[in-house]
Amino acid sequence: MVRLADPLLPYQARELLSALAQLALFCNGEGLPGKAEVWLAREVIERFIAVGCPTVKETTRGNYRSRLLRLSEVVLGGECRTGKPAKLSASIPNSPYGRSEIADLWGWASGQPTEELRWGCKTLMALGLGVGLDSPEAIPLRVHDVRRTSGTGGPVVVATRRPRKREILCRRPWEGVLTSAADRLEAPGTARYLFRPNCHSRGTNTVTNFLARAQPSPDVPRLVMGRLRSTWLVELFEERLPITVIVAAAGVDTLHGLSRILPFLTPVPAEEAARLLRGSG
């Protein structure tokens, strides 16, 4: 594809290859066939920019999109069937879910056609909304990493693995889901994976490959681990937990990693803000 575009585009081949390689990884994780007309469809490029590279800077995402859209024009030509591509600033891949969206996601997960898909989706929801895990942390988790601290009805603790190794208390509404997911797999002398226990090959696309097999619903938002984690973080902030507690539970070293949550927090009324800033006397 890059060779076909040269010399019609004002980019170095390595710049195009860099963007195309990231798009290829995303398309592979989504289960899309390796064809130029699929990878370079403008709808696919827009989706890749919106949800496929949430950890890169906004400027890098903008560069990816510019290069890929120009490559698409040269290789495929034609117009975008969905109209003008959305502005990059409107793409919020890690925006938190609303309550109704979470309810819709739970109904969608419960309605999947197989038990594997149902429990897999529910487990991901519990790990994201209950303990704020992202995909790299959910993939290597074992059944014995989930435990109750004081018998039936006690708090549920999840022990994550490296590089952000820590223990996190699960949010109360998701304790039952998480322990049920672990109990159904627990067996003496085994250390099975909690998510996709029958899949022994663990890779960066383990979650995306699984979700690509799930039955979609046009009325339900996509299940995205980054959005689940954002929802968990917003709930912690809204409940006024100390920032040190949130930082430790999130497994981050600085506040910079939490700054993307700020636009989604409920503003504090001026009178209450003034009272809090003045302090007690």
pLDDT of residue 113: 95
pLDDT of residue 1: 57
pLDDT of residue 187: 64
If you search the block for the tokens 């959910």, which residue do you land on? 138
Pick from 32, 180, 205, 171: nearest CA to 110: 180
pLDDT of residue 4: 54
pLDDT of residue 227: 93
pLDDT of residue 88: 39
Q: How far apart are CA 4 and CA 153, in angstroms?
A: 62
Beta strands in 18-155 (DSSP E): 146-148
pTM more than 0.75:
no
Cβ contact 161:137 at 8 Å: yes
Q: How far apart are CA 181 and CA 146, in angstroms?
A: 9
**Residues of the chain scoring pLDDT < 70:** 1-13, 77-93, 187-190, 281
Q: Which two three-digit tokens encode residue 229?
A: 């984690």
Q: How far apart are CA 135 and CA 68, in angstroms?
A: 26
Handedness of CA 151, 157, 162, 165 (dihedral sign): negative
